[in-house]
Amino acid sequence: MGSPLLLTSAERAEGLVARLEQAWREQRLVGLCAEQEQDLLAAALAGSVLCGAAVVVGSGGSAGGRRWCLQPLAHLEASAGATGLWLQSIRLDPSATLQLNPLPLHHVSGLLPLVRSRVWGTSWRRLPPELMRRPQDLAAAFPLPADRPALLSLVPIQLERLLAAAEGCAWLRGCSVVWVGGAALSSELAARARAAEIPLSPCYGASETAAMVAALPPERFLQGEGGCGRALADVELRLDPGGALLVRTKRLSPGCLEAGQLQPLERQEGWWCSGDGACFGPAGLEILGRLDGAISSGGETVFPEQVEARLLGWARAEQLPLDQLLLLPCRDPIWGERLVALVRHGGASGSPGPDASTATTAALIAHCQRLAQQLPPAQRPKHWLACPDLAPNVLGKWERGRWSRWLLQSCDGGASADDAGAEVR
């Protein structure tokens, strides 16, 4: 048995996989995290007497505190089994596929390709994340096999980088399924993927659900359908009266670890509340955004992620040098809450960074404010601030708590002043 084993991204992938699989054979609990979070995970594991083949991986962190989610290996294997049934439903034999994975193993969607390869008895190949930033070199370094369907898991930021180069598009077209999840897929990015004929499968899942619980078949995506498709065979989905997505499946996490103690996952009659607002459309599940990130503005519920996606799409359609955009809430005496926009200029030469002049950034913000006039009043950002360092984390997710603190420190409360408009800092 033995005490929990903590593994970080600082280890080489081959060695990390070998140690992980050895720990599973020994029925040990393994904590997986980024190198920068090992102190947090060590504190969560400290004193734990849990045993059995399982992992502890991070969950949340975009709003509220970081949580460390326990998932038994049996749950991960059940997830792989359900995904295999989904592949069979689109006429692919799981045992004949090749798993490609550019995501870190401490991310549940980066861990599942390894587990799927074990369950399906098929091959698995690790793609170095740095290579995903060089699509011109990707095809030469990792040519796709002609005799096996290739399956790929991506986050939207990786998809965007590959779509930016003809070589990346050609390589993606050679895959049979490109699952994309972990963060919202904008309508603009989805349209680019369709135009490039990428067999994309937008999907939805969480650490608490042992990854994917719904996925849209690539054929339906290419036909123009949106959303994340239908629930997998071992999953039930429904909405609560407030519009939150509820999930019921036997592979739900038993709970999260805090100071060595397991805090059971809160559920009602087996249903777990994901915290995501959702609806069901013709193609299945549609995610609206985090309910803990939604704001009430003038009596209307506003999902910042949806507004971000629309503004980014319009800006890129007009070829504005808008590299990043993040919307955060601020208090308003009349509306209750309004949005504040943080903006990162793409740089005078087209490369992201702080080299854009103050005047150039101010012009960009003015363009964005003009575009925002197409939005309903409750969705229009009240304040616009330049933020040269603005960027999501390595998985393409926004750490909204971090940028909210930046906003408070940078503006010293100024973002809630009634006369604040566009500021370039």
Which of 67-71, 266-270, 301-305, 342-346 has the lowest average pLDDT? 301-305
Q: Which of 272, 288, 304 is the C-terminal boundary of a domain?
A: 288
Q: pLDDT value at position 415?
A: 46
Q: pLDDT value at position 398?
A: 85
**Pair 157, 201 in one domain:** yes
**Pair 180, 305 in one domain:** no
**Pair 259, 314 in one domain:** no
73-89 vs 108-120: helix axis angle to the nearest 10? Answer: 70
pLDDT exceeds 60 at position 64: no
Q: What is the pLDDT of residues 35-57, one digit of tens each?
A: 888 888 999 999 998 989 999 99
Q: What is the rounded CA–CA span in Å between residue 365 and residue 345?
A: 9
What six digits make up the tokens of 390? 């603005």
Q: What is the pLDDT of residues 359-401, one digit of tens each?
A: 788 899 999 999 999 988 889 999 999 999 999 887 778 888 8
**Pair 314, 364 in one domain:** yes
Mean of the per-residue pLDDT values of the chain: 88
As for how many domains the chain has, the answer is 2
Nearest to 396 by CA among 137, 124, 189, 177: 189
User: What is 7-40 written as a DSSP string?
Assistant: EETTS-HHHHHHHHHHHHHTT-EEEEE-GGGHHH
Q: pLDDT value at position 416?
A: 40
Question: How much is the average pLDDT of 60-72?
Answer: 71
**Pair 305, 280 in one domain:** no
Q: What are phi and psi of 122, to 5 degrees?
A: -125, 180
| CATH code where residue 325 lies | 3.30.300.30
Q: pLDDT value at position 184?
A: 76
- How open is the CA angle 196-201-207, to the nearest 5 degrees? 135
pLDDT exceeds 60 at position 349: no
pLDDT exceeds 50 at position 421: no
**Pair 87, 197 in one domain:** yes
Question: How much is the average pLDDT of 92-121?
Answer: 95
Q: What percent of the chain has pLDDT over 90?
A: 63
Residue 289: strand pairing partners: 277
User: What is 349-364 written as a DSSP string?
Assistant: TSS-STTS-HHHHHHH
Q: pLDDT value at position 137?
A: 92
Taking the model in full, what pTM does it have? Answer: 0.79
Question: Is pLDDT larger for residue 74 or for residue 161?
Answer: 74
Q: pLDDT value at position 51?
A: 86
Q: Which of 262, 288, 314 is the C-terminal boundary of a domain?
A: 288
Q: pLDDT value at position 348?
A: 42
Q: pLDDT value at position 372?
A: 94
Q: What is the rounded CA–CA span in Å between residue 2 and residue 25?
A: 12
- Largest separation between any pair of C-alpha atoms in the chain: 63
| CATH code where residue 112 lies | 3.40.50.12780
Confidence of residue 354 (pLDDT cuts 50, 70, 90): very low
Q: pLDDT value at position 60?
A: 65
**Pair 355, 300 in one domain:** yes
Q: What is the pLDDT of residues 107-163, one digit of tens each?
A: 899 999 999 999 999 999 999 988 888 998 998 899 999 999 999 999 888 898 899
One-letter identity of residue 407: L
**Pair 239, 359 in one domain:** no
pLDDT exceeds 60 at position 355: no
Question: Is pLDDT larger for residue 298 or for residue 22?
Answer: 22
Q: pLDDT value at position 303?
A: 83
Question: How much is the average pLDDT of 218-224?
Answer: 97
Q: pLDDT value at position 401?
A: 83
**Pair 150, 269 in one domain:** yes
Confidence of residue 422 (pLDDT cuts 50, 70, 90): very low
Q: What percent of the chain has pLDDT over 70?
A: 92
Boundaries of domain holding 262: 5-288
Question: How much is the average pLDDT of 239-243?
Answer: 93
Q: What is the rounded CA–CA span in Å between residue 406 and residue 352?
A: 19
304-317 vs 187-195: helix axis angle to the nearest 10? Answer: 50
In terms of residues, how long is the chain?
425
**Pair 84, 199 in one domain:** yes
Confidence of residue 302 (pLDDT cuts 50, 70, 90): confident
**Pair 86, 229 in one domain:** yes
Q: Which of 268, 288, 308 is the C-terminal boundary of a domain?
A: 288
**Pair 164, 36 in one domain:** yes
